[in-house]
Amino acid sequence: AQRVTQPEKLLSVFKGAPVELKCNYSYSGSPELFWYVQYSRQRLQLLLRHISRESIKGFTADLNKGETSFHLKKPFAQEEDSAMYYCALSGGSNYKLTFGKGTLLTVNP
Amino acid sequence: NAGVTQTPKFQVLKTGQSMTLQCAQDMNHEYMSWYRQDPGMGLRLIHYSVGAGITDQGEVPNGYNVSRSTTEDFPLRLLSAAPSQTSVYFCASSYSGDTYGYTFGSGTRLTVV
């Protein structure tokens, strides 16, 4: 079974502060991990894929297989980063995507 | 490209009514899925399909039915609506879910009274 845990439902930081959204996963095989972002009442958008090791909108995420984590980080938060963030895992031949429960990030001015 | 298109955007149903939520994609994606989004629960997989003619159940399939007769369309049917099915429903598609991730539709906000 595959499971994704996002321990923080809410995270509030001030503009310019560093931000880290935590994600831990459970999967017996080799997972593919993603971060999705949902701005207020909009559709989910793919933010990052671990396989591409890219930085989008200043966010990065590193897969740590030893700690089974895929935390999302940004050194200097901006107000426009305020959104719901979902960590997701895909694994196996059926390509099902399993989501965590999400973390609502609020960046205060 | 329109991407993933969901209709309707909003719907109110009475308990016991049936309806179909439409989902269409024009990207020739093999994989399509339906999720429901509820506060504090994240997104939960209802049904998914790995190609035309092939569907399977997700985490919360009860009360829902799907079929995939074409690559483009993946409708979700509510057989007899219940208040517990009040939710926001998202359809998603992917060329290869493992590597490229899924593209999501804009959602259908369903209220069952």
**Amino acid making up residue A1:** A
A interface mutation test: which of B98, B100, B104 has the most A CBs within 10 A?
Answer: B98
Q: Is the peptide bond before A75 cis (omega within 30 degrees of 0)?
A: no
Region label for B70, one of left (φ > 0), alpha (ψ between -120 and 50) or beta (otherwise): beta
Tell if the CB–CB gap between B42 and A86 is shorter than 8 Å.
yes
User: Where would I find the beta strands (DSSP E) of chain B?
Assistant: 4-7, 10-13, 19-25, 31-38, 42-51, 54-57, 64-66, 76-78, 87-94, 103-104, 108-112
B interface mutation test: which of A34, A90, A103, A104 has the most B CBs within 10 A?
Answer: A90
Q: Could you say which of B56, B58, B101 has the minimum Cβ distance to residue A49?
A: B101
Q: Could you say which of B50, B92, B102 has the minimum Cβ distance to residue A94?
A: B50
From chain B, pick out residues whose CB is under 8 angstroms from the CB of A61: none
pLDDT digit string, tens, across residues A67-79: 999 999 999 999 9
A100 pLDDT higher than 70: yes
Mean pLDDT of A49-77: 89
pLDDT for B25 equals: 96
pLDDT digit string, tens, across residues B25-55: 999 999 999 999 998 889 999 999 989 999 9
Measure the CA–CA gap between A1 and A28, rounded to whole angstroms: 8
From chain B, pick out residues whose CB is under 8 angstroms from the CB of A103: none
pLDDT digit string, tens, across residues B53-94: 999 999 999 999 999 999 999 999 999 999 999 999 999 998
Q: How many Å lie between the alpha carbon of B2 and the closest alpha carbon of chain A?
A: 14
- CA torsion sign for B52, B53, B54, B56 is positive
B1 pLDDT higher than 80: no
pLDDT for B97 equals: 53
| Band of residue B99 on the pLDDT scale cut at 50, 70, 90 | low
The pair of structure tokens assigned to A30 is 């080799």
Token pair 């429901």 in the structure block, residue: B36
Residue B112's CB is within 10 A of a number of other CB atoms, namely 19
Tell if the CB–CB gap between B42 and A34 is shorter than 8 Å.
no
The pair of structure tokens assigned to A43 is 């559709």
The pair of structure tokens assigned to B23 is 């989902």
Q: How many Å lie between the alpha carbon of A103 and the closest alpha carbon of chain B?
A: 9
Give the count of alpha carbons within 13 A of A33, CB side only. Answer: 30
pLDDT for B98 equals: 56
| Band of residue A93 on the pLDDT scale cut at 50, 70, 90 | low
**Amino acid making up residue A25:** Y
Radius of gyration of chain B (CA): 13
Q: CA nearest A51 in B: which residue?
A: B99
Q: Which residue stretches of B30-112 are H helix? A: 97-100
The pair of structure tokens assigned to A15 is 């503009």
Instruction: Give the bridge partners for A3, in sequence order.
Output: A26
From chain A, pick out residues whose CB is under 8 angstroms from the CB of B101: 34, 36, 46, 49, 88, 90, 97
CB pairs under 8 A between A and B: 63
